[in-house]
Amino acid sequence: MAREAYLVPVVEAQVATLKKKTAVTTSWISIDAKGQSVILDVDKYAIMRRVQVHARDLRILDPMLSYPSTILGREKVIVLNLEHIKAIITAEEVLLRDPYDDNVIPIVAELKRRLPQDNLTCQDQGEEEEEHPSARNDMDTEEENEFPFEFRALEVALEAICSFLDARTRELEIDAYPALDELTSKISSRNLDRVRKLKSAMTRLTNRVQKVRDELEQLLDDDDDMADLYLSRKLAGACSPVSSFSVPSWYPPSPTIGSKISRTSRASAVTVEEDNDVEELEMLLEAYFMQIDSTLNKLTTLREYIDDTEDYINIQLDNHRNQLIQLELFVSSGTVCLSIYSLVAAIFGMNIPYTWKEGHEYMFKWVVILTGLLCTSTFTSIVSYARHKGLIGS
């Protein structure tokens, strides 16, 4: 009995520990240069050890924290936080968070499709090189100018986020323009509430697009930040005899990167100017900067259309308000004239014995006629004065 009583808390403690570990585990997918993927259910510490990234950089990818869109270049990785795209890019693999998310699944498929293409091209070039040894130098030149792995992955991410935001913008335009046109034709509470919701959605979407655009603009304005994104170049420079005589122990073997390193070692032409050359990445970022800027221009145009619609509605409301004021002026003038008529009637209707009332019954019709003419002339004078001062329309 005592032994059983001792085992119960131990089992409970193990279950609690297992639940705790499971609670902090996150799903990642690793895609290498061959397009092969592996699902990783690991915690953040395993990711930190795998790609050697700091905790503060990994915290940017936490969906529970509201971090803006960010592209960070570190010594060995690129930390990418673009809306739902939360990835860590190294020189030979891409780690993508939440691979089962509906918005991330197409990106995973696109990475698998586009990352291995250059490798297949390299294999074909290798076969041609064996058949034609004289073309070896041309092959080396083409290999040196090929798009690095990290830029291919970055291009897929930028294309995905730009297309995603542009699609959201088009959907918003499809809903917004008919709603605004309907509101201009008929001002109602239902149409006003619909436009209010669309304007709120447009404001949120504009902020999201603006953050991505600002991040790309910040990268384009700083060559040092763009140079930090050249992971393959930094790796080749660290492994070449010019800068080092030994390969770092943290870097796993890779045929693709190894071939780049050997060619760089043979050429030994990695200079400071070449290290600072960011034209390739700058052209890539400028292309997607123009695309995201075009999306922002669409939202700006939509905002201006909404502002114009609001101005038009305000003008309409002001016009209706002026018409109500004119109507109130006519009603008030008529009320004053009727008050005069009622005053005369009240005076003559007093039940007080006066001698001048006797024998003058014929005066009743003249009093009614003269009082009516007085009220009519008073009303006409008020309306004429209002038109003369421009208070009512002609």
Residue 57's CATH number: 2.40.128.330
Confidence of residue 190 (pLDDT cuts 50, 70, 90): very high
Domain-embedded: residue 93: yes
Residues 6 or more apart whose Cβ sits within 8 Å of residue 90: 51, 76, 77, 78, 150, 231
Q: Do residues 240 and 275 make contact, with C-beta atoms less than 8 angstroms apart?
A: no
Ramachandran sector of residue 52 (left: φ over 0; alpha: ψ -120 to 50; beta: rest): left
Q: Is the pLDDT higher at 105 or at 14?
A: 105
Domain-embedded: residue 381: yes
Looking only at the bridges linking them, the beta strands covering 85-89 and 78-82 are antiparallel
Residue-number span of the structural domain to which 53 is assigned: 23-116
Domain-embedded: residue 140: no
* Token representation of residue 144: 């040196």
Domain-embedded: residue 50: yes
Question: Which pLDDT tens digit goes with each residue over 15-34?
Answer: 444 444 444 578 899 999 88
Confidence of residue 356 (pLDDT cuts 50, 70, 90): low
Instruction: Report the pLDDT value the prediction gives residue 160, as an integer from 0 to 100.
Output: 94
Q: Please give the Cα distance from 351 to 354 (Å, whole number).
A: 9
Helix segments in the chain, DSSP class H: 2-24, 44-51, 55-58, 105-114, 117-131, 136-144, 149-185, 189-221, 223-227, 231-239, 255-267, 272-275, 279-348, 363-388
Q: Please give the Cα distance from 179 to 176 (Å, whole number).
A: 5
pLDDT at 171 over 90: yes
Least confident segment among 144-148, 303-307, 323-327, 361-365: 144-148
The amino acid present at 116, given as its one-letter code, is P
What sign results for the dihedral spanned by CA atoms 238, 239, 241, 246?
positive
Exposure on the CB side of residue 87, measured as CA atoms within 13 A: 29
Q: Which of 116, 143, 162 is the last residue of a domain?
A: 116
Q: Which of 56, 89, 116 is the last residue of a domain?
A: 116
Instruction: Report the pLDDT value the prediction gives residue 44, as an integer from 0 to 100.
Output: 85
Question: Which pLDDT tens digit goes with each residue over 297-319?
Answer: 999 999 999 999 999 999 988 88
What sign results for the dihedral spanned by CA atoms 165, 167, 171, 177?
positive
CA 286 to chain centre: 18
Domain-embedded: residue 231: no
Question: Which pLDDT tens digit goes with each residue over 71-116?
Answer: 998 888 999 999 899 999 998 899 999 899 899 999 999 999 988 8
Q: Which of 116, 145, 161 is the last residue of a domain?
A: 116
Write down the residue that tokens 């918003």 correspond to: 172
pTM over 0.85: no
Domain-embedded: residue 300: no
Domain-embedded: residue 277: no
Instruction: Report the pLDDT value the prediction gives residue 12, as an integer from 0 to 100.
Output: 45
Task: Name the average pLDDT for the chain.
Answer: 78
Q: Do residues 333 and 383 make contact, with C-beta atoms less than 8 angstroms apart?
A: yes
Tell me how crowded residue 51 is: count the other CB atoms within 10 A of its CB.
20
Q: Please give the Cα distance from 61 to 162 (Å, whole number).
A: 19
Question: Which pLDDT tens digit goes with each residue over 128-162?
Answer: 445 554 444 444 444 445 678 889 999 999 999 99
Phi, psi angle pair for 81, to nearest 5°? -130, 95
Tell me how crowded residue 187 is: count the other CB atoms within 10 A of its CB.
13
- Rounded to 10 degrees, the C-alpha dihedral 208/214/216/221 comes to 180
Number of structural domains found in the chain: 2
- Give the residue among 163, 173, 167 at the shortest CA–CA distance from 288: 163
Residues 6 or more apart whose Cβ sits within 8 Å of residue 296: 206, 209, 210, 213
Instruction: Report the pLDDT value the prediction gives residue 252, as an integer from 0 to 100.
Output: 44
The amino acid present at 295, given as its one-letter code, is T
Q: Is the pLDDT higher at 62 or at 356?
A: 62
Domain-embedded: residue 367: yes
